[in-house]
Structure 1
Amino acid sequence: MKSTLTATLAATILVAASSLAMAQTTTDTAKPAAAGTKATKPVAKKQPAVNANRTNLKSAAKNVAAGIEAAEAALTPAELAIAERVQVGHMPCELGASITLTADPKNPGYFDMQGKNFRYRMFPVATSTGAIRLEDQKAGAVWLQLANKSMLMNQKQGIRLADECMSPAQATVAEALKLNPAPSILDAPKPAAAAK
């Protein structure tokens, strides 16, 4: 849906640009003298009209670009529901690393992530597994949040930037899993008790 809206707004930019260019061409051409009239000196091109048309074109392009950004910024109800489940705050990770994830109060569903040598602007993406996924598509950053831990990867570089990151709630789940591990799908099923 976002890509369709972006394509529509981009087409609007092209239409606005071509109509302003045609208007500029029309004002720049000198009108020929009517038959039987006295020839006059050619009229010098008016720079203010050209500059005005360029200004109008730039203004229209900025407005459409702002519209594209707003359309991309609009999240679906499903994405907003995912955003409500994101763990925020300062989270320690393995090997002494840490990240800070904060919700953007002005743009619901968007998050700012900071760590050592990186800063990302992230938004939720729906997954088929139910894991919470945040992305910064420009930077290639992906944040995966599970019940017991989170990890940060950079898809463009093909590296993991932070692993085993845990909020207090995730640390509680991780501790519970240590004490009472979930059964593995590779484990043999336990025999059923014999009926008497």
Structure 2
Amino acid sequence: MAMLTQVSMPTLACLDIFLGNCLNNRIISHDAWLNCFDIDSMEKIFKAYPTLNQKLPDKITFVISQEFEDIYPEMIPKERERVYSKKHGAIFITQIGKTLKSGNKHDGRAPDYDDWDIIFYNELLDIRLELSSLGIRVDEAMERQLTLSGQEKRNQFDFHRRLLNCGLPYTVDGGIGQSRLSLDSRGSRKC
């Protein structure tokens, strides 16, 4: 079992910028990487929006989906996410689409690109909130994920063929779940 690790939590805007830089440049500078972990950014956000009452944690805990099943075998995946994010504040889950020892997957995902999530615990609603879904779209990684999911036929699609033949740049992809954040915002409004 892999060790759980914690790293500084980037601000959401910085994560979006970071992913954009990765998509456009393939490489991100050391300075740009360090700027993504600027804790002072959160203080600036709270000064600009004083009604916000819940801060993102300073650390994000990384966990592999199989570790979830090992720790909480009696729970369904979304409940595991809620309990674990409540304990740690924010979690980064990997291998979401991989088949677990139980024979189930943590979650059904697009095998060619979506395999990681960032989950934040919302104290007000006592829910787990998926802030971002991410994945790797890189030659062997994509091919391996398609094979593991039994969807090798996708290799025939134009996008996949071009990527596997080095016709497209290597990318790490992801986005902030704007629709999820909007739903959370509407759901947490006090009347």
Indicate the TM-score class for this superposition, using the shorter chain for normalisation.
under 0.3
Q: Which has the higher contact order (CA 8 A, sep 6+)?
A: 2
- With normalisation by structure 1, the TM-score equals 0.26
- With normalisation by structure 2, the TM-score equals 0.26
